[in-house]
């Protein structure tokens, strides 16, 4: 090592000096000073070794200063690789409203605000304020769900698969469950209906073929070991062409005649029939939980974070005797939701009860309002307004496009990546969250139907910044 390199090694700052850099305040608040200090030492040691080996180059103090200036970014990459980055708020402009990768249904702003209030102090989750005695968290939600769907009783679990697992474990251990072969589907996160059945201890009896199942197939399969009939609605796939399936009312009649229970996995969390205008757009033919129960289904399972518009949760609705059997099972204790989910679901169900709009209504909302938003944004950003499909998403109404307009740019993957990165500043540029759009047909699309109007200004600033960066890069 030359004397020059030795001098440059002595110019490396002490760990405490690096930690005092204001640019590291956020990292220390996220990961703790000790963890950041450990990575600072590792970075400084790597620089010392490069100087010792002569690998840093010969550009002198300017090169070393550049490496030190970029230290916060390298530390962030190290810490994120070790601990994973924290969750961040994202603007969903994909046109897919219930985007599984982006958390599915966004909570209504007033519910989210109320949730913050209820989570920073105690709340009467299991306290009867009138008597001062222990209350029932399930009862609060049960009253809302039974009023909305006509069910005799209801319980909530931490997701829809859990509700189905609970029902099958309670009603069909070591017994047969008859289900159409074409309904043995794989749902989100690679969970498969056959695997849930196997985990419950039930034995699957497949009937029909992949594309055609008749009522007679179920009738022939019923035997002394049969516990129940199971119907799984095609929430996330479609079979077209030469097809036939038995709908819930016919299965309910068969189950009643043969003394069996009918369990229906509705899948999407559609509580009640929707207005015809919405149904014609994307939900035609999808029975609501209220309709399924009225048709004679004994238990209906659905999701809280899809069409219901709430947090991730599983709904188990139906006959009181069956629901209460599930509630008494030890597994229910392991599957029931905690305070945050209960509070959020409570708030969203009350909006349903009051008939007030939810964020998902933007998919088929007032066209004039959407047109005004698009016109302002297109004029400001130099975008085109072109026809584009939107989708409900989240395993609900797959491949059924909702026609409407969206913003189109001459953008590529580099442009999309700039928007995905977001910005925390620095001044004078205001921060903005990552923006997720869609690359399709040689264009970059931003669909305002999946963006809260309150975020339009934030979205515009993010796009303006990405456009400037593209211009500077020659794009």
- Check if the beta carbon of residue 202 is closer than 8 Å to that of residue 173: yes
Give residue 220's pLDDT band: very low, low, confident or very high (50, 70, 90): very high
Asked if residue 28 has pLDDT above 90, the reply is: yes
User: Is residue 406 classed as helix, strand or coil in its secondary structure?
Assistant: strand
Give residue-wise pLDDT tens across range 175-188: 999 999 998 887 66
Give residue-wise pLDDT tens across range 227-283: 999 999 876 667 777 888 999 999 999 999 999 999 999 988 999 988 766 655 677
Helix-, strand-, coil-residue percentages of the chain, each rounded to 5: 50, 15, 35
Residue 104 neighbours by CB under 8 Å, 6+ apart? 98, 305, 306, 312, 393, 394
Residue 334 phi/psi, 5-degree rounding, is -75, -20
Taking CA 124 as the corner, what is the angle to CA 326 and CA 142, rounded to the nearest 5 degrees?
35
Percent of the chain scoring above 70 in pLDDT: 91
The reported pLDDT for the residue numbered 8 is 60
Residue 364 phi/psi, 5-degree rounding, is -130, 35
User: Highest mean pLDDT: which of 264-273, 323-332, 358-367?
Assistant: 323-332
Asked if residue 413 has pLDDT above 70, the reply is: yes
Is the model more confident about 186 or about 20? Answer: 20
261: β partners: 228
The reported pLDDT for the residue numbered 222 is 98
Helix (H) or strand (E) holding 384, with range, is strand 384-393
The chain-wide mean pLDDT, for the chain, equals 89
Residue 223 phi/psi, 5-degree rounding, is -145, -175
Q: Where in the chain is the domain with CATH 3.90.1150.180?
A: 91-99+361-472
- For residue 407, the 8-state DSSP code is E
Q: Which long-range contacts (CB under 8 A, 24 or more apart) does 317-320 make?
A: 317/145, 317/146, 317/149, 317/151, 317/153, 317/154, 317/289, 317/293, 318/151, 318/152, 318/153, 318/293, 319/152, 319/153, 320/152, 320/153
Strands 438-440 and 127-128: unpaired
The reported pLDDT for the residue numbered 248 is 95
Percent of the chain scoring above 90 in pLDDT: 64
Measured distance CA(285)–CA(274) in Å, rounded:
11
192: β partners: 186
Give residue 426's pLDDT band: very low, low, confident or very high (50, 70, 90): very low
- For residue 104, the 8-state DSSP code is S
Asked if residue 136 has pLDDT above 60, the reply is: yes
Asked if residue 6 has pLDDT above 60, the reply is: no
231: β partners: 264
Give residue 57's pLDDT band: very low, low, confident or very high (50, 70, 90): low
Asked if residue 53 has pLDDT above 90, the reply is: no
- Tokens representing residue 417 in the block: 């990546």
Q: What is the mean pLDDT of residues 349-359?
A: 95
Asked if residue 427 has pLDDT above 50, the reply is: no
Dihedral (CA of 319, 272, 396, 181) sign? positive
User: Is residue 295 classed as helix, strand or coil in its secondary structure?
Assistant: coil
Choices 3.30.2130.10, 3.90.1150.10, 3.40.640.10, 3.40.50.300: CATH for 109-356: 3.40.640.10
Average the pLDDT over each of 139-153, 266-280, 366-380, 438-452 and give the range with the smallest value. 266-280
The reported pLDDT for the residue numbered 434 is 94
The reported pLDDT for the residue numbered 190 is 64
Q: What is the mean pLDDT of residues 210-237?
A: 91
User: Is residue 21 classed as helix, strand or coil in its secondary structure?
Assistant: coil
Measured distance CA(266)–CA(274) in Å, rounded:
15
Measured distance CA(51)–CA(252) in Å, rounded:
78
Q: What is the mean pLDDT of residues 70-97?
A: 92
Q: What is the CATH architecture of 91-99+361-472? A: Alpha-Beta Complex (3.90)
Measured distance CA(295)–CA(262) in Å, rounded:
11
Whose tokens are 């020059």? That residue is 4
Measured distance CA(110)–CA(102) in Å, rounded:
20
Whose tokens are 């497949």? That residue is 206
The per-residue DSSP string of 130-148 comes to TTTEE--HHHHHHHHHHHH
Asked if residue 32 has pLDDT above 70, the reply is: yes
Give residue 112's pLDDT band: very low, low, confident or very high (50, 70, 90): very high
Measured distance CA(56)–CA(413) in Å, rounded:
33
391: β partners: 96
Q: Where in the chain is the domain with CATH 3.40.640.10?
A: 109-356
Measured distance CA(111)–CA(114) in Å, rounded:
5
Q: What is the mean pLDDT of residues 109-138?
A: 89
Give residue-wise pLDDT tens across range 291-314: 999 999 999 999 999 999 999 999
Is the model more confident about 217 or about 280? Answer: 217
Give residue 58's pLDDT band: very low, low, confident or very high (50, 70, 90): low
Q: Over the Cα atoms of the chain, what is R_g?
A: 28
The reported pLDDT for the residue numbered 49 is 85
Helix (H) or strand (E) holding 227, with range, is strand 226-232
Nearest CA-CA partner of 400 in 424, 371, 364, 439:
364
Give residue-wise pLDDT tens across range 397-409: 767 888 899 999 9
Residue 30 neighbours by CB under 8 Å, 6+ apart? 79, 86
């Amino acid at each position: 090592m030359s004397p020059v390199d030795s001098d440059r090694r002595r110019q490396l700052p002490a760990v405490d000096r690096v930690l005092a850099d204001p640019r590291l305040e956020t990292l220390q608040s996220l990961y703790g000073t000790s963890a950041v200090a450990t990575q600072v030492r590792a970075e400084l040691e790597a620089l010392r070794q490069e100087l010792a080996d002569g690998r840093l180059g010969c550009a002198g103090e300017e090169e070393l200063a550049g490496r030190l200036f970029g230290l916060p970014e390298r530390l962030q990459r190290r810490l994120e690789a070790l601990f994973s980055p924290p969750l961040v708020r994202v603007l969903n402009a994909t046109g897919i409203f219930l985007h599984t990768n982006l958390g599915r249904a966004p909570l209504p702003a007033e519910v989210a605000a109320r949730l913050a209030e209820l989570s920073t102090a105690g709340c009467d989750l299991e306290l009867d304020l009138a008597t001062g005695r222990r209350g029932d968290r399930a009862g609060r939600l049960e009253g809302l769900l039974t009023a909305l769907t006509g069910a005799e009783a209801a319980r909530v679990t931490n997701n829809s698969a859990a509700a189905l697992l609970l029902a099958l474990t309670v009603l069909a251990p070591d017994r047969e469950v008859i289900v159409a072969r074409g309904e043995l589907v794989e749902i989100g996160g690679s969970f498969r209906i056959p695997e849930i059945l196997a985990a419950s201890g039930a034995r699957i009896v497949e009937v029909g073929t992949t594309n055609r199942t008749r009522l007679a197939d179920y009738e022939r399969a019923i035997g002394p070991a049969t516990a129940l009939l199971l119907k799984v609605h095609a929430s996330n796939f479609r079979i077209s062409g030469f097809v036939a399936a038995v709908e819930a009312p016919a299965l309910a009649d068969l189950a009643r005649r043969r003394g069996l229970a009918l369990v229906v996995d509705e899948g999407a969390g559609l509580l009640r029939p929707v207005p015809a205008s919405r149904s014609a757009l994307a939900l035609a033919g999808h029975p609501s939980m209220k309709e399924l129960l009225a048709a004679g289904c004994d238990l209906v399972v659905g999701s809280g974070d899809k069409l219901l518009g709430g947090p991730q949760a599983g709904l188990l609705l139906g006959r009181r005797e069956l629901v209460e059997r599930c509630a008494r099972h030890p597994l229910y204790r392991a599957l029931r939701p905690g305070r945050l989910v209960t509070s959020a679901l409570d708030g969203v169900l009350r909006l349903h009860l009051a008939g007030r709009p939810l964020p998902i209504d933007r998919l088929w909302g007032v066209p004039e309002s959407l047109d005004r938003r698009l016109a302002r944004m297109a004029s400001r950003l130099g975008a085109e307004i072109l026809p584009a499909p939107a989708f409900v998403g989240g395993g609900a109404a797959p491949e059924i496009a909702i026609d409407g307009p969206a913003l189109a740019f001459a953008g590529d993957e580099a442009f999309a990546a700039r928007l995905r990165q977001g910005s925390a500043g620095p001044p004078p540029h205001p921060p903005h969250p990552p923006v997720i759009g869609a690359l399709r047909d040689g264009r970059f699309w931003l669909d305002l139907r999946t963006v809260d109007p309150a975020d339009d200004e934030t979205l515009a600033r993010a796009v303006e910044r990405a456009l400037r960066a593209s211009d500077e890069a020659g794009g």
